[in-house]
Amino acid sequence: MTYAKTAAFTQEQQQLARVAKALAHPARVAIIQFLASKQTCISGDIAAELPLSRTTVSQHLQELKALDLIRGEIDGLTVCYCLNTELLQQVYQQFTSFFIEATTGPACGPADACAC
Amino acid sequence: MTYAKTAAFTQEQQQLARVAKALAHPARVAIIQFLASKQTCISGDIAAELPLSRTTVSQHLQELKALDLIRGEIDGLTVCYCLNTELLQQVYQQFTSFFIEATTGPACGPADACAC
DNA sequence: ATATTATGTCGTATATTTGCGACATACTTC
DNA sequence: GAAGTATGTCGCAAATATACGACATAATAT
């Protein structure tokens, strides 16, 4: 019958999935790249750079902010968004570990199928 | 009014987002780790290792297979799943580029907010 | 041929994501 | 204070993701 174990997923798996989800939309990838490219921590006229409405961009920003991947500080009338490079570096490490683990295991043959 | 540019997202952004989405669920992260850990390219009794029904696991497997991150070859009664390490390595490169770009740009101060 | 086993697919229900217009808030300027 | 600007939040609609039971398929074993 192959019934499931009740053991839930590990914290690591959940954390990786959470961050992956944050990057799972081109708009959020674009936002991070945009923030990384700008000298100044440019405010939410990020919206002007994306094919999305201001509202939608704002939501994406909130999602990234919820994970603390980016930060926003109110500066008078505008909001100054910028990357949390410290956290991004940590996340980078997590992804690196994961990919190294994944790329050093047993694999399929180069072209087509399994060499089990 | 700040209206949007119609320029869509780049291929790179879409590709990264697509892979990130594949990793955006703990079950799929767990599946990849499981395949990486096993000497043999174990079949779909991966389900027995996860707190999910066989049907659901099958769907997650299909999603990973759709992106070619994993491959499955029918071996009589069982299906032999294994990682596409070549593609995973490529994807790893893409993520690396992204994170390096993201971690070398302008950032917030270490503890709290922007130093704009 | 029938039963058993390992898988995949279909249909369906629920939850989450995505996107946006309309409004609220808050600061600046006149 | 009134007008204007930059933002965020609410409410809704459409699309997608998640999960699973029930059925279909296909190979193996009896």
Q: What is the pLDDT of residues A91-101, one digit of tens each?
A: 999 999 999 99
> Is residue B23 in a domain?
yes
Give pLDDT tens digits for B51-67: 999 999 999 999 999 99
> Is residue A5 in a domain?
no
pLDDT on residue A6: 52
Q: What is the dihedral of CA A42, A47, A85, A99, to 10 degrees?
A: -160
Nearest DNA or RNA nucleotide to B76 (CA to C1'): D27
Of A83, A98, A104, A101, the C-alpha closest to A16 is A98
CATH of the domain at A31: 1.10.10.10
Q: Which of residues 43-102 of B touch strand D (CB under 7 A)?
A: 52-53, 55-56, 59-60, 63, 74, 76-77
Distance CA A80, CA B85 (A): 40
Question: CB pairs below 8 Å between A and B: how many?
Answer: 237
> Is residue A3 in a domain?
no
Q: What is the DSSP letter of A45?
A: G
> Is residue A24 in a domain?
yes
> Is residue B26 in a domain?
yes
Q: What is the DSSP letter of B49?
A: G
Give pLDDT tens digits for A58-71: 999 999 999 999 99
> Is residue B69 in a domain?
yes
pLDDT on residue A113: 46
Question: B39 in contact with A at a CB cutoff of 8 Å?
Answer: yes
Of A103, A2, A114, the C-alpha closest to B40 is A114
In which band, very low, low, confident or very high, does the pLDDT at B106 lie, cut at 50, 70 and 90? low
pLDDT on residue A45: 79
Indicate the burial class of B100 (C-beta count within 10 angstroms; 0-12, 13-18, 19 or more). middle
Under an 8 A CB cutoff, do B107 and A82 touch?
A: yes
What domain range is A56 assigned to? Answer: 11-99
Q: What is the DSSP letter of A44?
A: G
Of B2, B16, B49, the CB nearest to A48: B2
In which band, very low, low, confident or very high, does the pLDDT at B4 lie, cut at 50, 70 and 90? very low
In which band, very low, low, confident or very high, does the pLDDT at B40 lie, cut at 50, 70 and 90? confident
pLDDT on residue B3: 44
Q: Comparing A4-13, B45-54, B91-100, which segment has the lowest mean pLDDT?
A: A4-13
Count of structural domains, chain B: 1
Under an 8 A CB cutoff, do B29 and A113 touch?
A: no
Residue A3 Cβ under 7 A from any strand C atom? no
> Is residue A70 in a domain?
yes
> Is residue B110 in a domain?
no
On the question of pLDDT at B21 being above 80, the answer is yes
pLDDT on residue B11: 93
